[in-house]
Chain A
């Protein structure tokens, strides 16, 4: 079974700073996707970024980028020039491409951006 671990329950940074959220996962599979989702106080789960395991290049989406280390099974999210609207719970998630199309989530990191 796959597991996802987010070791930082809470983080807090000042607006405009850069912050990195950590995620490690455990799997014996070779073909999978990794995701970061954001859940603001409204509770709507929003996709931030996706990384395909077969791709060596790290995914980027505007101010959001990942550092994907497949051998180390590490998948961190970097948020540059953080904004107040980035305040949310961030969940790292794993999806195996074989079998059930289910997301396995970490416990989440509560990120607060301070003005």
Chain B
């Protein structure tokens, strides 16, 4: 089975722009979670999606949003980018909600200038 894929792998944007990141889960997995990884804050939970519904959201401003499609693919969007949004964004998929191991994609590295 193919693993979790994320596109693009690298991205450079300027302050004020917006960005959309994509995640395709492992085939058959229906739950997708997003995490932000920075040197200062470490790994922090952004959102969790299951059956096209956002089930939970972490402590991030409203500029961070996401969605999930009927094929379980997910996108996250960050509007009005700030320098502090520079990070590695990791997507993880699991079979279902709760009691499941999350498997991670390679991440999208976002640099905001």
Question: Which A positions have Cβ atoms within 8 angstroms of B?
Answer: 33, 35, 37, 42-47, 50, 91, 95, 97-108
The reply to whether B43 and A43 form a contact with Cβ atoms under 8 Å apart is: no
Our count of residue pairs bridging A and B at CB distance below 8 angstroms stands at: 59
Give the interface size class of chain B: 20 to 34
Pick from A35, A43, A50, A106: contact of B106, CB under 8 Å: A43
The reply to whether A97 and B98 form a contact with Cβ atoms under 8 Å apart is: yes
Q: Is the contact region of chain A dominated by helix, strand, or loop, or is it mixed?
A: loop
Q: How far apart sit A37 and B94, CA to CA, in the bound complex (Å)?
A: 15
The reply to whether A43 and B45 form a contact with Cβ atoms under 8 Å apart is: no
Question: Which B positions have Cβ atoms within 8 angstroms of A?
Answer: 31, 33, 35, 42-43, 45, 48, 55-56, 58, 88, 90, 92, 94, 97-107, 109
| A43-B107, A45-B104 as given contacts; A97 in contact with B42, CB under 8 Å | no
